[in-house]
Structure 1
Amino acid sequence: MTKLLSHLRALNEKLAIAAGLLLLLSVCVTLYDVIARPFGASLGGTDELSGYAMAIVASWGVSYALTGLAHVRIDIVRARGGSAVRAWFDAVSILSLAAVALAVAYRAWPVLEKSISNGSTANTTLETPLWIPQTLWMAGWVWFAVSAVAMAGAVCLFLITGRNDDIEEYAGSRGEA
């Protein structure tokens, strides 16, 4: 299990870099557009494209936050408890997060399905077929659900076998630095 979680963490780090590159590309395109406007060379639609980039980056970024132990928690009780108390709080936390991730991923499909069935396009000059950014957005939420469920399964296994240190490492809280 620890090997699986280590691979999951490494993969999510690579996906975070890809998301960061998408965000950087969005910034560069927007910067070019702002500089080019006075010269009549505006690209147009940069606000729309940057909105898509933000949605895609956010949906993929939550998986990195999950495996990087960056999700915010109020953990005053957890921090004062022993190893077993922290393990149980971490288990409840990851199980709750996995349930929410599954719900969000499940509810993302009707949004995409409706855009596909209606042939929806953006109400802008670009007329972007909405299924394109929505597919990438939904894929990020599905990956988050997969990551969260894998972590929840591992944490439950660690809890059953008394491996509290592994729970701390892979699903604990970083706390204040």
Structure 2
Amino acid sequence: MTVGVLLALTVAFILLDITLRQLGASLGGSSEISGYVMAATASWGLSFALIELAHVRIDFLRLRFRTWGRIVMDLLAIGSLAVTTIVVAVQTWPVLGKSLQSSARANTPLETPLWIPQTIWFSGWLWFALTASLMLLCAIGLLASGRLQSFDDQFGTVSEADAKDSEQEAAR
């Protein structure tokens, strides 16, 4: 909800700035601020999407397998996601580190100290990497304990039928 309000406020700010430009004035900074909001909501939203099984997965191959084939595909998916997010999170630190070291500011009229939006962005990627890594460990734990149905519930894909059932339950 908070993210939705933040995005709605950003849209309202951009629309106000565009309207004011037509009248010969401007608040300034709308493209800069919207970029910061987009980076923050994307980096933090990825973790939420992961927990909700909302990341896009191509199922046509996975659905052709039986139980253990699906498990391997699901484990490969969460494992590759965890590794990728760790690499990205590690690579975001030098960007923030250089901004902190040089007291960098945006080359815009706002002259925003770049460490502020970059800290939010970096922490979102760090959280995503931590979330994906913990989910990988949980997946391995479920498999090691033989809880295949729990593994499928937590790390499988959501079919259209499952999604409709969830929507109907939420509507009640």
TM range (shorter): 0.7 to 0.9
Question: Match for residue 172 of structure 1?
Answer: 156
Instruction: Name 1:98's counterpart in structure 2.
Output: 82
Aligned to 1:69: 53
Is residue 54 of structure 1 aligned with residue 38 of structure 2?
yes
Count residues in correspondence.
161
Amino acid at match of 1:131: W
1:101 Cα deviation after fit: 0.9
Q: Which residue of 2 aligns with 1:86?
A: 70
1:150 equivalent to 2:134? Answer yes
Gaps of 5+ in 2: 162-172
Deviation of 1:77 after TM superposition, in Å, equals 2.7
1:35 alignment counterpart: 19
Q: Is the 8 A contact 1:115 1:131 kept in 2?
A: yes
Look up the SS of the partner of 1:57 in the other structure: helix
Q: Contact 1:59–1:140 at 8 Å: present in 2 too? A: yes
Alignment identity in percent?
Answer: 48
Mapped to 1, the partners of 2:148 and 2:68 lie a distance apart of 7
Post-superposition offset of 1:21: 2.4
User: What is the root-mean-square deviation in Å for CA atoms of aligned residues?
Assistant: 1.5
User: CA offsets, 1:3-31, max 9 Å, x none?
Assistant: xxxxxxxxxxxxxx333222122111111
Shift of 1:37: 2.6
Greater relative contact order, per chain length (Cα 8 Å cut-off, separation 6+): 1
Answer whether contact 1:90 1:167 (CA < 8 A) is retained.
no
Q: CA deviation at 1:54?
A: 0.8
Q: Secondary structure at the match of 2:61?
A: helix
Aligned counterparts of 2:151 and 2:5: Cα–Cα separation in 1? 31
Q: How does 1:90-169 map to 2 (within 5 A)?
A: 90-169=74-153
Q: Cα distance, 1:74 vs. partner?
A: 2.4
User: What is the letter of the counterpart of residue 110 of structure 1?
Assistant: P
- TM-superposed deviation, 1:79: 0.8
Residue pair 1:78, 1:89 contacting (<8 A) in 2 also = yes
Give how far 1:111 is off: 0.4
**How far off is 1:176 after superposition?**
4.6
Give the aligned partner of residue 21 of structure 1.
5
Q: What corresponds to 2:166 in structure 1?
A: none
Structure 1 residue runs without a partner (length 5+):
1-16
Shift, 1:167, TM fit: 1.6
Give the conservation status (yes or no) of the 8 Å contact 1:67–1:171.
no
**Structure of larger gyration radius:** 2
- Counterpart-to-counterpart distance in 1, 2:138 and 2:18: 48
Normalised TM-score (structure 2): 0.87
